[in-house]
Each structure stands twice: as structure tokens, then as C-alpha cells.
């Protein structure tokens, strides 16, 4: 984008000289030329007609001629309906290529001491069930966004809030107490989060039986759901927990520890981590005190039943419950407390919540309530709302036990990668350790890339077999291209070819090679834009376009056997930078690339 700024300055100069008036800065719009048109940068001339007093086409033509005359890098232009498409010459692109080749981390901005601090919250699991496919998408988006923001020079704090209290936690605790018979993860031979999730499902099944029985006795469905003995017991258990009942607290600690151990195994498999983990059991009390303070200051309302609400009707919303009539907390309570303590801990400049779109209203209300309570930093809160992910079979439901467990899905991906790789004969001459490491890299690369190549805002269907294809827009296809480049590099070294970053002069470069260089040059802009709109899919789909360009280049041109030594070295340099950009791009998605494949 540095060159775009330069062109903007030159466009202003052109308007001053051509039309005797200095234009407003926001009227100068420079953008990358669309792929279906010839050119590299496009100036939109429609906002400039008030200065030229001429047609869009004539204005574009006059400015184009001025820029060609004044800027040595511009070799020509074309005008399409008032859009001035500028074409840069080969010298510009070659010089740009060598600048990129010499950079330690091309396209990446270093984090400085005075960099802005951004908190990114992702994962946010409940301790009543294991992580599932939906959690995988959440974790991958959050982790990738963290890396993309860091690549833009932001100081990123990766955070997690563990929802370790509430009625849903009480349900799994009560079910284990009633039907567990002292079962532990070790005795059951399964991970702790899986065991606890099993009792959450058990509660739901027994609860539904009680509801049906009450309906048969004449109660409405709504009455039965409120009066079923199991839900009353679960609510009493929650009340006791908040009152500090020793027996309930001990059971809660024991079962939560089982779950934490299970979560850690899944996070490790998935390759994600956190800088700071918060627990709802710690933050909800702070949330309650903030709410009660807001009540004293008459910023909130107390209803006759003792419940506390925020009246947001003047904001075009409804009333929002903040504390129940029995004094117990709701999700909003702990989110208020968590946001407060995070600002106190890190004085963040921005706080991004990676949470599914079913919580859009919740985060809209959270921001408004915090502002109503006079916390000005709430302006910096942003909800990265993402769509649901399903399997080809349809939706998943935790209560009914129809979710796809994250560990099972990862294991299935590894098995599929193993089968496909064996069929393709990928691992001839590999040790067992190398085979296992490469298979894991391919499997997780397939999973992560497939989930991240879709715009987070969109709902999507995840197809495990489709994701692991070695051809097309998939992680393994990109990984294979990177491995191909590394193989090329090794063969060059074996042939005693020294690949330096030195500029090679007087070359005849083809249009296809220039196009590959242009695609490589786009990387910094992609990284910047992905951070601005919080969208890892921009990076994912950029890599696919780059890989397609490189493979076409690899297919069409002789590299190691090229007789012209300078041209051979130049093509190796292009390959090296392509490999670096592929690896850097995949890193931003949290994906590893194998050296051999």
C-alpha cells in the first residue's frame, strides 16, 4: 500500500496542475485493479468530476497522461467508464521483488513497546461437556486472528473464559451424584470432559421424562419445565454453590478438574494456546458487585421480585436481566465482571470476542450496559460474530449427545490422512516417526484450512474427506506445494547452486513470471486487510491463489535445468520467496507445513 499512497500524492498533484484546485484527500480513491481488467492500480475518477468539470472518461484520460509523463514506473493506462487503470512496468515489479526477498519477514510488522494492546477472547468452553466441532471453529478463528493482528504490529493477549459455574454445570454435577456410582475418568477409561459430558446428556434425558410425566398429569409444557423435580434440584444445587456449601463446592472442584485435564489434551492436539485464562467462578462475584453498585446509583432497576434489570428501551432494545430474584447470576453478570477485570489487568485498546452469531444480541447489550455504567473503555469492545458449522449429516446438539467430539474428529482426520497418503505412496523412505509427524501435520492442516477458508460470518458444512484432498483448495494441496519448493531448494544445494538475494540484472522475464511476482507482492496488503476486517479467509484464499500461480510457473518453466545461469538463479529466487510467503501465510492460520511430503 506504500505505492498506493505515492500514487495518491501524485494524483493530487495532477489535479492541482490540470484543474487549478487542491482536491479533498478523501476524494482520491486508489485501489488494486480488478482481476478482469488490465492494470495494477485503479484511480476512481467520478469523485473528481467536480474539479475537472469534464466527463469521467476525459478526466481519467487527462490524469492518466499526466501520471505517465511524471512517474517513471507507469508504462501505460486504460480507461473503463471513468476508472483509470494504471499499468506499472517490469522494472518496478522486479525491484519490488528484490526488496521483498531481502526482508527477514516479508509482509510482517514487528510488535513495538508502544504498540496497541488487543485482547482476543476465544474458546469459552462450558465445563459440562467436551469441546466439539463448533468449538474447533471458534478456537481456530480466534487463534488465527491473534496471529494476524500480531503480524500487523499489535500486542495481542490471547484469553479464554471458562464457564465453570451456572445451571448447566449443576445439571451434570447432579446427574453424576445421582447415577455416577463414584465413577472417575480413570475407572471409566475416558477423558474427564467426556465423562462429565456423558452425565450432562443423562440429566437431559431424565429431565425430559419428568416433563412428559407432568404434562400427562395436566401441566402445560412451560409449567412442567419449571416444576420438574430434577430442574428444581439443579437450581437448589446452584443456590448452594453460590452460598459456598462445602459439599457442593468439593464436588464442583473435583468434576471441573476432570474437565480441565481433558480440555488441555484437546487444546494441545489442536495446537492452540492462551496467555491468560479467566474463570466465571472468579469473575461473576465482581460482576454482581458492579451491578449492585449500578443499582445504588440508579443506573439499573430493581423489580418487585428482587431481580435486577437494565432498561434499554430508550436504545431501541428491551429490558435485560442482570441478577435473578434469588440473587444468582446470569451470563451477563460474569461478562461484566470479566470485561472489567481484563481492562484492569491489561488496559487494552481493543477487546475482540470470538463468539457465535447466536450471541449477537448479548454482546450488543453487554457494550451498552457497560457504557451505561460509565465504563468508557467499553467503546473498544468488538464482537467477531461467526456462523455455525455443521457436518453433512446436519446440526449437532450437546444435550442430546449428537455433537461431534473434537478429539474424535481430529483422530478421524489423522486416520483419513494416513489412508490417503498410503494409497498415494507419499512416505517411501520415511521413518515411522517422520510418517506420524507428517500425517499429523497434514491432518490438522486439512482441518484448519477447510474451516478457515470460509468467511467467519458464514455458516458452513465441514466435510472431513473433502478437506483432506491433495488437489484443489485444501490444506494438503498447499502443504504439498511448499514441500515441492523445499525439494527444489535441496536439489539446488546438492548441485552446489548458491541462491543469494542479490539482484540479477539484464533478464528477459516472461509475463507469467511477472504475474507470480505481483501475486507475491500482494501479501502485505492481504495481511493488513485481514486484520482490518478480522477475516482469516482472506489469507487462506490468497495462499490458494499464490499456490496455483506457483504451480503453473513450476509446470511451464525449466528451473534447475535452465541453461541460462542468471535465469536459473532468478527462478530459484522466485521459488524461495514463494515458499517463504506460503509458510508465513500458513503460520497466520495456525498451520504447520512439512519440509517433505
Specify the CATH number for the domain of residue 35. Answer: 3.30.1360.70
Give pLDDT, residue 404: 79
Query: CATH no. for residue 506?
Result: 1.10.730.10
- The answer to whether position 96 is within a domain reads no
* Residue 403: per-residue pLDDT: 63
71 found inside a domain: yes
Are 368 and 515 members of one domain? no
Instruction: Answer whether residue 403 is part of any domain.
Output: no
pLDDT of residue 576: 97
30 and 135 part of one domain? no
Would you state the cell numbers that stand for residue 305, as one nine-digit string? 421480585
CB contact at 8 A, 383 and 360: yes
Would residue 80 count as lying in a domain?
A: yes
Q: Are residues 528 and 483 in the same domain?
A: yes
pLDDT at 351 over 50: yes
Write out pLDDT tens, residues 307-343.
999 999 999 899 999 998 888 888 899 999 999 999 9
In a domain, 474, yes or no: yes
**Which DSSP category does 183 fall into?**
-
Strand 350-356 versus strand 381-386 pairing type = parallel
Residue 201 lies in a domain: yes
Mean pLDDT of 110-121: 96
- For residue 570, the model assigns a pLDDT of 97
Which domain does 468 fall in, by range?
448-588
Range in 85-99, 147-161, 454-468 with the lowest mean pLDDT? 454-468
pLDDT tens string 188-207? 999 999 999 999 999 999 99
Q: Average pLDDT, stretch 418-427?
A: 77
Of the residues 66, 88, 110, the one at which a domain ends:
88
Of 390, 408, 440, at which residue does a domain stop?
Answer: 390
Dihedral of alpha carbons 587, 590, 595, 597, sign: negative
The residue among 426 and 464 whose pLDDT is bigger is: 464
pLDDT for residue 350 is more than 50 = yes
Asked whether residue 482 is assigned to any structural domain, the reply reads yes
Query: Measured between alpha carbons, how far is 449 from 445 in angstroms, rounded to an integer?
Result: 6
Considering the domain architecture, whether residues 133 and 73 belong to the same structural domain is answered as no
What is the structure's pLDDT at 418?
Answer: 86
428 φ, ψ to 5°? -65, 125
Same domain, 487 and 382: no
The average pLDDT across 237-266 equals 95
Per DSSP, helices labelled H in 495-558 are 511-521, 523-532, 536-556
Residues pairing with 276 in the sheet: 159
Q: Is residue 511 predicted with pLDDT exceeding 80?
A: yes
| Pair (308, 211) in one structural domain | yes
Residue 399, pLDDT > 50, answer no
CATH number of the domain residue 312 falls in: 3.40.50.620
pLDDT band at 1 (very low <50, low <70, confident <90, very high): low
Residue 571 near residue 188, CB atoms below 8 Å: no
User: Is 372 inside any structural domain?
Assistant: yes
Q: In the structure, what pLDDT confidence band is assigned to residue 394 with cuts at 50, 70 and 90?
A: low
- pLDDT for 209 equals 96
Structure confidence at residue 17 (pLDDT):
95
Q: Are residues 67 and 151 in the same domain?
A: no
- Confidence band of 401 (pLDDT split at 50, 70, 90): very low
Which of these three, 357, 390, 423, is where a domain ends? 390
For the record, the C-alpha cell of 20 comes out as 487549478
Decide if pLDDT at 429 tops 80.
Answer: no
Tell me the average pLDDT across 518-539. 96
> How crowded is residue 221: how many other Cβ atoms within 10 Å of its Cβ?
11
Both 314 and 382 in a single domain? yes
Q: What average pLDDT does the chain have?
A: 93
> Residue 370: which of 361, 360, 380 has the closest Cα?
380
Residues 274 and 339 occupy one common structural domain = yes
The total domain count for the chain is 3
Q: What sign does the dihedral 358-361-363-366 (CA atoms) show? A: negative
State what percent of residues in the chain have pLDDT above 90. 83
Whether residue 84 is found in the same domain as residue 147: no
Same domain, 291 and 362: yes
> Span 175-198, mean pLDDT?
96
Residues 233 and 154 in one domain: yes
Amino acid at each position: 500500500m506504500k505505492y498506493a499512497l505515492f500514487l495518491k500524492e501524485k494524483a493530487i498533484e495532477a489535479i492541482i496542475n490540470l484543474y487549478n484546485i487542491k482536491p479533498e484527500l478523501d476524494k482520491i480513491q486508489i485501489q488494486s485493479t480488478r482481476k478482469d481488467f488490465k492494470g495494477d492500480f485503479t484511480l476512481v475518477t467520478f469523485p473528481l468530476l467536480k474539479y475537472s468539470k469534464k466527463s469521467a472518461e476525459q478526466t481519467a484520460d487527462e490524469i492518466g497522461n499526466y501520471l505517465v509523463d511524471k512517474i517513471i514506473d507507469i508504462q501505460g493506462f486504460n480507461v473503463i467508464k471513468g476508472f483509470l487503470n494504471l499499468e506499472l512496468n517490469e522494472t518496478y515489479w522486479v525491484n519490488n521483488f528484490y526488496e521483498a526477498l531481502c526482508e527477514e519477514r516479508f509482509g510482517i510488522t514487528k510488535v513495538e513497546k508502544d504498540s496497541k494492546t488487543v485482547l482476543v477472547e476465544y474458546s469459552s468452553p462450558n465445563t459440562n461437556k467436551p469441546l466439539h466441532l463448533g468449538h474447533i471453529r471458534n478456537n481456530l478463528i480466534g487463534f488465527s486472528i491473534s496471529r494476524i493482528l500480531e503480524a500487523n504490529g499489535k500486542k495481542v493477549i490471547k484469553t479464554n473464559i471458562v464457564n465453570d459455574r451456572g445451571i448447566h454445570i449443576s445439571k451434570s454435577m447432579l446427574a453424576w451424584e445421582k447415577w455416577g456410582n463414584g465413577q472417575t475418568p480413570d475407572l471409566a477409561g475416558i477423558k474427564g470432559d467426556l465423562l462429565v459430558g456423558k452425565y450432562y446428556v443423562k440429566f437431559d434425558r431424565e429431565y425430559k421424562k419428568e416433563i412428559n410425566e407432568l404434562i400427562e398429569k395436566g401441566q402445560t409444557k412451560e409449567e412442567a419445565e419449571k416444576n420438574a423435580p430434577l430442574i428444581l434440584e439443579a437450581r437448589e444445587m446452584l443456590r448452594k454453590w453460590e452460598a459456598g456449601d462445602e459439599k457442593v463446592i468439593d464436588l464442583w472442584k473435583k468434576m471441573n478438574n476432570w474437565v480441565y485435564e481433558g480440555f488441555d489434551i484437546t487444546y494441545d492436539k489442536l495446537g492452540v494456546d492462551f496467555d491468560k485464562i479467566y474463570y466465571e467462578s472468579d469473575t461473576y462475584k465482581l460482576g454482581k458487585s458492579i451491578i449492585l453498585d449500578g443499582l445504588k446509583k440508579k443506573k439499573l432497576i430493581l423489580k418487585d421480585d428482587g431481580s435486577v434489570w437494565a432498561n434499554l428501551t430508550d436504545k431501541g432494545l428491551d429490558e435485560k436481566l442482570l441478577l435473578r430474584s434469588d440473587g444468582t447470576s446470569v451470563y451477563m453478570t460474569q461478562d461484566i465482571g470479566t470485561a472489567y477485570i481484563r481492562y484492569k489487568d491489561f488496559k487494552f485498546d481493543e477487546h475482540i470476542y470470538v463468539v457465535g452469531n447466536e450471541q449477537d444480541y448479548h454482546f450488543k447489550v453487554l457494550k451498552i450496559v457497560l457504557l451505561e455504567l460509565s465504563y468508557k473503555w467499553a467503546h473498544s469492545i468488538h464482537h467477531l460474530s461467526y456462523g455455525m458449522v455443521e457436518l453433512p449429516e446436519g446440526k449437532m446438539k450437546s444435550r442430546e449427545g449428537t455433537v461431534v467430539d473434537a478429539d474424535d474428529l481430529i483422530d478421524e482426520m489423522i486416520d483419513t490422512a494416513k489412508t490417503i497418503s498410503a494409497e498415494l505412496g507419499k512416505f517411501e523412505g520415511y521413518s515411522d516417526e517422520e510418517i506420524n509427524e507428517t500425517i499429523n501435520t497434514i491432518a490438522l492442516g486439512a482441518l484448519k484450512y477447510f474451516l478457515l477458508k470460509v468467511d467467519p460470518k458464514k455458516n458452513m458444512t465441514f466435510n472431513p474427506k473433502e478437506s483432506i484432498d491433495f488437489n484443489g483448495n485444501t490444506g494438503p494441496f498447499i502443504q504439498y506445494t511448499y514441500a515441492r519448493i523445499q525439494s527444489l531448494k535441496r536439489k539446488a544445494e546438492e548441485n552446489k547452486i548458491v541462491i543469494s538475494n542479490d539482484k540479477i540484472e539484464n533478464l528477459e522475464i516472461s509475463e507469467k513470471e511477472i504475474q507470480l511476482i505481483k501475486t507475491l507482492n500482494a501479501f502485505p496488503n492481504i495481511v493488513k486487510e485481514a486484520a482490518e476486517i478480522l477475516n482469516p479467509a482472506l489469507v487462506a484464499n490468497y495462499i490458494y491463489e499464490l499456490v496455483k500461480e506457483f504451480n503453473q510457473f513450476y509446470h511451464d518453466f525449466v528451473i534447475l535445468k535452465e541453461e541460462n545461469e542468471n535465469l536459473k538463479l532468478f527462478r530459484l529466487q522466485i521459488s524461495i520467496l514463494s515458499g517463504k510467503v506460503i509458510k508465513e501465510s500458513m503460520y497466520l492460520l495456525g498451520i504447520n507445513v512439512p519440509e517433505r511430503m
